[in-house]
Amino acid sequence: MSRIVIVGGGLAGLAAAVALTARGFPCTIIESRPRLGGRASSFHDPTTNTDIDNCQHVTLGCCTNFRHFCHTTGLAEFFRREPALYFVGPSGKIDRFAAGSLPAPLHLTGAFAGLSYLSWKDKYALATALRVLTRPVSEQDESESFAKWLTRHKQPQTVIDRFWFVVLVSALSESLERISVSHARKVFVDAFLAHRNGWYVDIPDVPLEELYGGRLTDWLTSRGTTIRLQSSADKIELENDRVTGVRLGSNEVIPGDEFVVALPFFRVLSVLPESLAARTELQGIKQLEPAPISSIHLWFDRPITDLPHAVLVDRLCQWVFNRTAIKSVQIRQSSAPDSNEDRLVDAFYYQIVISASHQLERSSKDEIQKQVLQELTDVWPIVAEAKLLHSRHVTEHRAVFSPVPGVDALRPVQQSPVANLQLAGDWTRTGWPATMEGAVRSGYLASSNILKRLEHDDAVLQPDLPTATLSRWMFGL
């Protein structure tokens, strides 16, 4: 039996492990941190005595490989599908956005038409640009940012701020100036135009730690895969153009026959042997750039909204997730300022997500929190009366790679220049942006290459949702 070693227990490494383990090839996963999940993981919050996610992770209906990964491992039952999205316009009016009965690509026409914070003139400009965006990306498109494309296609500023920014910055975690036209096009085609179910948002009902640390760990280990946490890979060992093992920080060497290195792009080259890291095929990795995502976790003494989530338009806060709808918590509070006695009070937990949070780097936590609370008060005046019991701010400075024009040419394929070494990670060439879907795809592609080498030719990568007949006919998708 071939010994397969996977370095990195994020979703890319985990997906490779699941694909291989499911086919009877257990692996050894080496993860430097004390938990699995990588950028999609939780940490313990002592005040609430709960695991909270580094950031709310959501997935879309068009993410077919991530869904397959969850179905294979039994995680799918822990996701809740939102039947509608709630957009809160600048005036505070809430628009419910949901598919109608028409087939794709017309299923969301009514929902777009109903967005009260866009005028009919805005909607006409938006529809015109959306139609152009469905066309294949031209050379000129490829050379410019999506912000420039929008100006070239005469999009009014209100439409840019209230529509394009809202959808794309959430989906790609970058500012419009740093998004390529092809990545923007992919979001609209996959999520809104190609299939009726592409736009659905699925949200985990439990902390990410429960998914990857609990359920998935059990699934993998009960099938023979070994997970080594708190084991940091120092160097990949190469002999005669073949990887022979992974040297850990402790100097222990984990030998193997097939290897997957599923590390973040900013770490991978330091772990590869110099001769491999210098290969031309891998030089693009050095030019990948990171983008930050911030999340503000707030616990109030009362509910501030019944909505399961809200998309805030034209504000600093982009998404609000109502985590209380999922799990109630209690926080210890002193009864009175001069009392030593504590009592447990109910706490209502909301998480605010700010993608591409470059501008927050210049503000203090207090300033950010003040603005966030003011925005929440504008939408839900009860926030002014509510007591804030507890808060946490998390910024992941290297949350994703920036999908800038030309980025796909920098991303290497999973098969490395060394035959028994695969690369995986959301940043490898998958055609997808930095998402859980992109990470799972990369792990599936890497495992497919290994299965071929082991003469076990099996299709691992799952197909996209099929393109609706009318979408093909209207837009040639």
Q: Of 21, 32, 64, 422, which lies in the binding site for ligand FAD, with binding defined by CB under 6 A? A: 32
Task: Show contacts of 383-388: CB within 8 Å, 24+ apart.
Answer: 383/300, 383/304, 385/302, 386/300, 386/301, 386/302, 386/304, 387/300, 387/301, 387/302, 388/298, 388/299, 388/300
**What is the biggest distance separating any 2 CA atoms in the chain, rounded to whole angstroms?**
73
401-426 burial: b if 16+ Cβ within 10 Å, else e: bbbbbebeebbbebbbebebbbbbbb
Distance separating alpha carbons of residues 109 and 117, to the nearest angstrom: 16
Map the footprint of ligand FAD across residues 187-216, applying CB under 6 A: none
Give the rounded distance of the alpha carbon of 246 from its chain centre: 28
Closer to ligand FAD by CB, 256 or 438: give it.
438
- Rounded to whole angstroms, how far apart are CA atoms 381 and 151? 36
3-class SS at 241? Answer: coil
Give the one residue of 80, 267, 393, 453 binding ligand FAD; rule: CB under 6 A.
267
Q: Which residues contact 218 (CB under 8 A, 6 or more apart)?
A: none
CB of 126 to ligand FAD, least distance (A): 24
By beta-carbon proximity to ligand FAD, the closer residue of 36 and 389 is 36
* Chosen residue from 260, 372, 399, 445 binding ligand FAD by CB under 6 A: 399
In this complex, which beta carbon is closest to ligand FAD, that of residue 191 or of residue 325? Answer: 191
Out of 210, 257, 346, 396, which residue is the one contacting ligand FAD (CB under 6 A)?
Answer: 396
- Kindly state whether residue 263 participates in binding ligand FAD, applying the rule CB under 6 A: yes
Choose one: 54-62, 109-117, 301-309, 403-411; the region binding ligand FAD (CB under 6 A): 54-62
Q: Is the peptide bond before 46 cis (omega within 30 degrees of 0)?
A: no
User: Which parts of 138-157 interact with ligand FAD (CB under 6 A)?
Assistant: none
Residues touching ligand FAD, count (CB under 6 A): 38
- The smaller minimum CB distance to ligand FAD, of residues 57 and 178, is found at 57
Does the footprint of ligand FAD cover residue 323 (CB under 6 A)? no
Report residue 87 as tokens. 């957009």
Q: Is 400 in the site for ligand FAD (CB under 6 A)?
A: yes
How far, in Å, CA of 132 to CA of 181, rounded?
A: 11
Q: Does 421 bind ligand FAD (CB under 6 A)?
A: no
Distances (CA, A) of 93 to 87, 272, 302: 8, 53, 22
Q: How far is the CB of 70 from ligand FAD (least distance, A)?
A: 12
Q: Which of 79, 115, 426, 432 binds ligand FAD (CB under 6 A)?
A: 426
Pick the piece of the chain touching ligand FAD (CB under 6 A) from 34-42, 97-105, 184-192, 454-462. 34-42
CA distance 272 to 421: 10
The first and second tokens of residue 459, run together, are 């299709």
Using CB under 6 A, which of the segments 177-185, 308-316, 344-352, 434-442 binds ligand FAD?
434-442
Site residues for ligand FAD per CB under 6 A: 7-13, 30-33, 38-40, 54-55, 57-59, 232-233, 262-264, 267, 271, 293, 396, 399-400, 425-426, 434-439
